Chains A and B, each alone.
Chain A
Amino acid sequence: MKNIIFRRSDGGISITHVSPNDNYETVKAKHIPSDAVILLEGEDVEIPIDRKDRDCWNFDGTKVVVDQVKVQAKLDAIAQKETDDKAAEEAKIAAIVDKVVKK
């Protein structure tokens, strides 16, 4: 199966799996947005099997890889959100306690 790997305008990586039953050029024209950048076209292009970090895929110039910098950034963001959520919760509790004490 032929593949077309392209970078979307939002920076994400898309992979078009072109069926041998379809006209390649027609599929290419329909599936690839005009503002996208085609990175690679080929037969059975290598892509990561594990889709756990699909949103962190990137193109290293020869193939699609999991961008560890993006993965770390995602993990940091999750950790930060948990911290923020916890802080917000603690602030709520503190506000309630403060009200009770003042009464």
Chain B
Amino acid sequence: MATFPSDSVRTKDWGSEVLTDADLEAQYDIIHNYIKAALNSSTGHDHDGTSNQGPKLSPANLVIASQAAADILVAASATAWKRLAKGTAGQVLKINSEATDVEWGAGATAASQAEQEAGTEVAKYVAPATQQFHPSACKAWVAFNGTGTPAVTASYNVDASITDNGTGDYTISITTDFSSANYCAVGMAKGSSGASDPMIVNIETMAAGTLRVEVVSPQDAAARDSSQVCIAMFGDQS
């Protein structure tokens, strides 16, 4: 609160001297400045006496009934406010079913393996840990060098071990098996001399956990070792 000026600011003795207009105006200014300073101090605004700026809201001075850490201040109407107590761990702020208020509710959950496999859920999100279970997703793939000792160069859900059954004849194993041998395998292989020697990847045997393929030249139907064999597999995983 501003301090009111003492009598020492007066230039005349009000009891014995004649006060002029200037004297009265000076006194008026003293009172006006006092009130303005007091108002500014209590509201935080610079009131200049010409406009209504209203009170300034200071967070330190704002108190809500029963407030606690993480509570939220919500407009209850066009003119009133209310306290929304904090939610529980993992909850998110949502609009209620009537679309008239906000409330805490469960956050979105990840689709399960079964929901991914059904492919019909629309309200859940796809998590990296389960996205591959959708029927459209590739379940396993591998790229390997089939010359010399076969060696995997890149893969997903395929073991790094390869069986060499003969020229261009390889068995690979799937880390997390398919639910049966009824799955789709597609493959390409690099020929020894580019476009003039294209290769066909022929399926020898399929099992839930293994796939045996043979790289064959269509020119003479003979198997060939290939420096780049690529296979991708689609289907239902166990």
Residues of A within 8 A of B (CB): 1, 8, 12, 14-19, 21-22, 26-27, 30-31, 49, 51, 54-55
Contact = CB atoms under 8 A, between A and B. Distances in A.
Chain B binding surface SS class: strand
Interface of B: 147-152, 159-167, 171, 173, 209-210, 225
A31 B207 CA distance: 10
Given A16-B161, A17-B162, A27-B161, A51 B167 contact: yes
Contacts of A18: 161
A31 B173 contact: yes
Contacts of B150: 17
Given A27-B159, A54-B225, 9 more contacts: A12-B165, A14-B163, A14-B166, A16-B162, A17-B161, A22-B161, A30-B159, A30-B173, A31-B163
A27 B159 CA distance: 8
A18 B161 CA distance: 5
Contact of A16 (B147, B163, B167): B163
Contacts of A30: 159, 173, 209-210
B161 A31 contact: yes
Contacts of A14: 163-166, 171
A19 B171 contact: no
Which of A1, A18, A21, A31 has the most chain B CB atoms inside 10 A of its CB? A31
Contacts of B163: 14-17, 31
Chain A binding surface SS class: mixed
Given A17-B149, A30-B209, A31-B210, A54 B160 contact: no
Contacts of A49: 148
A19 B167 contact: no
A17 B148 CA distance: 11
Given A14-B171, A30-B173, A22 B160 contact: yes
A1 B152 CA distance: 13
Contacts of B161: 16-19, 22, 27, 31
Contacts of B164: 14-17
A21 B79 CA distance: 67
A19 B210 contact: no
A31 B225 CA distance: 19
A76 to B, nearest CB: 18
Contacts of A15: 163-164
A70 to B, nearest CB: 12
A90 B238 CA distance: 59
Contacts of B171: 14, 16, 31
